[in-house]
RNA sequence: GGCGCCGUACCCAAGUGGCUAAGGGGGAGGUCUGCAAAACCUCUAUUCGCCGGUUCGAAUCCGGCCGGCGCCUCCA
């Protein structure tokens, strides 16, 4: 089955055909860096991380660009109000670029913690002022924009396709306008490409229209086309950006180049907390840093990927606790596998108890269907049940077979979903832990002597106390083993 | 007011015209165990918000209603 993607532009699932064979050019709207990233960012970027990882798994050469917005987004009204970064800078008495830099790194740190692979290019808006001015000049020259008092606006009535992504019509936009009409605009839906800097405005650049700063949609058009070409494969972002942000991007880009801008538009759904939207300006958001105090990165990743990217995800402690149990179960199985791999050998006339390739196929079918990660995860659980059953019942284990299964976990659960760490600890003989392990072994030996003497109360106390510090004893007919409780990666 | 999405078991969540409605969590029982833990096995929705309609056949398509959410203002 071919890879299909739900395209917001056509509202249908469409087979993915790259513009250049074997390559994927993808742009995803990045964060505005004026605060610590929250779990909504986590959902968005983990989802697209899985998309990019899957393309790479399929063998595509991917060029993944994600902007860092360090200027330009305003606090309230489209054209009035104060730049969010400037606001933060004033509140914290910092240079705006200090604010942007600080939160850019906060973002990178959190993404790394969540196992999100860095985009190939993370262009900053302030680093592309010249290119943005050039694009605005083209739009003016082609008659799609007009200047008033050092402000440049895009004339939406000139672009006949305006509304094709979001399904909106200009007259409807007028009727529903909640914002006071800016008298400088010819049409209420016109949007700013360049804003004149008032005296005292800290972030300002010279331009043909005087000192000012770019509007909020122009950076994405500029930077995506600069690095990916005038037409590229995929543009992703949050569903709330369909209108106006992405609609405006299309208007700017296609007006300037006369070519289709993006072939597949992908939009991920929102995170809600207790059923209501989480937004930066609502102040009810949970930062990734807060979430990571309570849950492991793998739990958060698993939680995000266990629902589809186009579904809304409700964040609650119950759901996260269930997710934690789920991912622990998956990781426990992989650990069992790694342990078994240690004592496995060659079994003559071996008959495979199940077909690993069958599971790979099912996994790929799920991912090919618009990146259906919940279904893909379900396949991994089905595989786990088969594997555990084999590990339990087989008296002699066939090493090549276990290795094949291990590769499957590493590729599907590891490389693609980022749920299974490459260096998963198998709780045996790590050098650093050598002496600790000897001590545990001594404790176990003594406890087993107690058990032989039927002094179970004391034996259980030893097990309970060890359990309190995260060492779990497992009594089997062949003897006692132990493992460290999974707390991190 | 306009546009759009969603409602599947106790919870989370796939499935969107036809074999037994995935998977995870939780719960019940069992194998194993001195007891546990882990793992495995069995059970836990004759039914998919409600009401009509289309169809040989619908959770899936159409219409209406009820409920929840999002966008139309910066937001992932």
* Å between CA of A322 and C1' of B12: 8
Q: What is the DSSP letter of A370?
A: T
Checking each nucleotide's C1' against the CA of A385, the nearest proves to be B40
- Looking at chain A, the number of H-run helices and the number of E-run strands are 15, 15
Beta-bridge mates of residue A63:
A25
Q: pLDDT truncated to tens, each residue of chain A (489 aa)?
A: 689 999 999 888 999 999 999 999 999 999 999 889 999 999 999 999 999 999 999 999 999 999 999 985 544 333 345 667 677 777 777 888 888 999 999 999 999 999 999 999 999 999 999 999 999 999 999 999 999 999 999 999 999 899 899 888 877 665 544 455 678 888 888 999 999 988 877 788 999 999 999 998 999 999 999 999 999 999 999 998 998 899 999 999 999 999 999 999 999 999 988 777 786 666 678 999 999 999 999 999 999 999 999 999 999 888 999 999 999 999 999 998 988 888 788 888 888 999 999 999 999 999 999 999 999 999 999 999 999 999 888 778 899 999 999 999 999 999 999 999 987 766 544 444 566 777 888 888 889 888 888 888 889 888 988 888 888 888 877 788 888 775 543
Checking each nucleotide's C1' against the CA of A303, the nearest proves to be B12
**A394: phi > 0 → left, psi -120 to 50 → alpha, else beta; which?**
beta
Amino acid whose CA is nearest the C1' of B25: A322
* Å between CA of A481 and C1' of B37: 11
A373-393 vs A399-408: helix axis angle to the nearest 10?
A: 160
Amino acid whose CA is nearest the C1' of B71: A240
Q: What is the DSSP letter of A158?
A: G
* Å between CA of A476 and C1' of B33: 8
Q: What is the DSSP letter of A423?
A: T
* Å between CA of A175 and C1' of B3: 12
Can you tell me the distance from the alpha carbon of A331 to that of A388, in angstroms, rounded to the nearest whole number? Answer: 12
CATH number of A330-416: 1.20.120.640
* Å between CA of A314 and C1' of B26: 18
pLDDT value of position A331: 93
pLDDT tens digits along A432-465: 456 677 788 888 888 988 888 888 888 988 898 8
Angle at A459 between CA A457 and CA A465, to 5 degrees: 100
Query: Using CB atoms within 10 A of its CB, is residue A375 exposed (0-12), middle (13-18) or buried (19+)?
Result: middle
Can you tell me the distance from the alpha carbon of A175 to that of A434, in angstroms, rounded to the nearest whole number? Answer: 73
Q: Which fold has domain A17-142+220-313?
A: Rossmann fold (3.40.50)
Can you tell me the distance from the alpha carbon of A24 to that of A21, in angstroms, rounded to the nearest whole number? Answer: 8
Query: Using CB atoms within 10 A of its CB, is residue A450 exposed (0-12), middle (13-18) or buried (19+)?
Result: middle
* Å between CA of A448 and C1' of B7: 55
Checking each nucleotide's C1' against the CA of A37, the nearest proves to be B76
* Å between CA of A276 and C1' of B6: 14
Both tokens assigned to A76: 């309230």
Write down the residue that tokens 């799609």 correspond to.
Answer: A144
pLDDT value of position A358: 93
pLDDT value of position A176: 45
The predicted complex's ipTM stands at 0.94
Amino acid whose CA is nearest the C1' of B24: A326
Amino acid whose CA is nearest the C1' of B40: A389
Checking each nucleotide's C1' against the CA of A267, the nearest proves to be B76
Checking each nucleotide's C1' against the CA of A310, the nearest proves to be B5
* Å between CA of A286 and C1' of B46: 43
pLDDT value of position A489: 35
pLDDT value of position A428: 47
Can you tell me the distance from the alpha carbon of A489 to that of A482, in angstroms, rounded to the nearest whole number? Answer: 18
Asked whether A474 and A482 are in contact (CB, 8 A), the reply is yes
Of A94, A95, A119, A89, which Cα lies nearest the Cα of A107?
A119
**A178: phi > 0 → left, psi -120 to 50 → alpha, else beta; which?**
alpha
Of A178, A161, A179, which Cα lies nearest the Cα of A170?
A161
Checking each nucleotide's C1' against the CA of A191, the nearest proves to be B73
pLDDT tens digits along A264-274: 999 999 998 87
Kindly report, as residue ranges, where domains of CATH 1.20.120.640 are found in chain A.
330-416
* Å between CA of A482 and C1' of B57: 55
* Å between CA of A11 and C1' of B52: 28
Checking each nucleotide's C1' against the CA of A393, the nearest proves to be B40
Checking each nucleotide's C1' against the CA of A328, the nearest proves to be B24
Would you list the DSSP string of A98-112? HHHHHHHHHHHHHHH
Please state, as a whole number, how many other Cβ atoms lie within 10 Å of the Cβ of residue A423. Answer: 6
Checking each nucleotide's C1' against the CA of A472, the nearest proves to be B37
* Å between CA of A56 and C1' of B20: 37
Asked whether A339 and A428 are in contact (CB, 8 A), the reply is yes
Can you tell me the distance from the alpha carbon of A310 to that of A461, in angstroms, rounded to the nearest whole number? Answer: 49
Kindly report, as residue ranges, where domains of CATH 3.40.50.620 are found in chain A.
17-142+220-313
Residues 6+ apart with CB under 8 A from A338: A406, A424, A426
For strand B, give the nucleotides within 7 A of a protein CB: 1-5, 11-15, 22-26, 32-41, 68-76
């Amino acid at each position: 089955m071919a890879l299909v993607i739900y395209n917001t532009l056509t509202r249908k699932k469409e087979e993915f055909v790259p513009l250049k064979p074997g390559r994927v050019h993808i742009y995803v709207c990045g964060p505005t860096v004026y605060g610590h990233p929250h779990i909504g960012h986590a959902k968005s970027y983990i989802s697209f991380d899985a998309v990019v990882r899957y393309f790479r798994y399929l063998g595509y050469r991917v060029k993944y660009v994600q902007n860092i917005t360090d200027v330009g987004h305003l606090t309230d009204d489209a054209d009035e109000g104060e730049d969010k970064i400037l606001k933060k800078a004033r509140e914290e008495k910092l240079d705006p670029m200090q604010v942007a830099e600080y939160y850019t790194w906060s973002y990178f740190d959190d993404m790394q913690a969540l196992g999100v692979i860095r985009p190939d290019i993370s262009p900053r808006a302030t680093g592309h002022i010249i290119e943005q001015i050039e694009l605005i000049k083209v739009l003016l020259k082609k008659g799609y924009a007009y200047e008033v008092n050092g402000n440049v606006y895009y004339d939406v009535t000139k672009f006949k396709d305006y509304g094709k992504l979001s399904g909106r019509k200009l007259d409807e936009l007028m009727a529903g306008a909640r914002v006071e009409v800016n008298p400088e605009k010819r049409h209420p839906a016109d949007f700013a490409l360049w804003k004149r800097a008032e005296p005292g405005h800290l972030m300002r650049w010279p331009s043909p229209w005087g000192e000012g700063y770019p509007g909020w949609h122009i950076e994405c058009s500029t930077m995506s086309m600069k690095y990916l070409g005038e037409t590229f494969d995929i543009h992703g972002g949050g569903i709330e950006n369909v209108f106006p942000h992405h609609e405006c991007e299309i208007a700017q880009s296609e007006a300037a180049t006369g070519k289709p801008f993006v072939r597949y538009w992908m939009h991920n759904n929102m995170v809600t907390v207790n059923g209501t939207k989480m937004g930066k300006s609502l102040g009810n958001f949970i930062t990734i840093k807060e979430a990571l105090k309570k849950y492991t990165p793998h739990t958060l990743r698993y939680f995000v990927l266990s629902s589809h990217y186009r579904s809304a995800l409700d964040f609650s402690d119950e759901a996260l606790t269930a997710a934690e149990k789920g991912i622990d179960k998956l990781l426990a199985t992989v650990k069992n596998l790694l342990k078994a791999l240690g004592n496995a050998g060659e079994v003559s006339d071996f008959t495979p108890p199940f077909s690993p390739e069958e599971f790979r196929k099912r996994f790929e079918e799920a991912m090919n269907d618009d990146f259906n990660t919940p279904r893909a995860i379900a396949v991994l659980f089905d595989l786990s049940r088969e594997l555990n059953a084999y590990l339990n019942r087989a008296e002699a284990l066939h090493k090549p077979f276990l290795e094949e299964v291990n590769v499957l976990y590493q590729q599907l659960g590891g490389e693609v979903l980022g749920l299974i760490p490459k260096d998963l600890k198998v709780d045996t003989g790590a050098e650093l832990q050598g002496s600790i392990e000897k001590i545990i072994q001594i404790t176990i030996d003594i406890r087993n002597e107690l058990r032989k003497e039927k002094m179970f109360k004391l034996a259980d106390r030893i097990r309970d106390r060890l359990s309190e510090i995260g060492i779990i004893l497992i009594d089997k007919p062949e003897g006692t083993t132990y493992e460290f409780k999974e707390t991190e990666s």
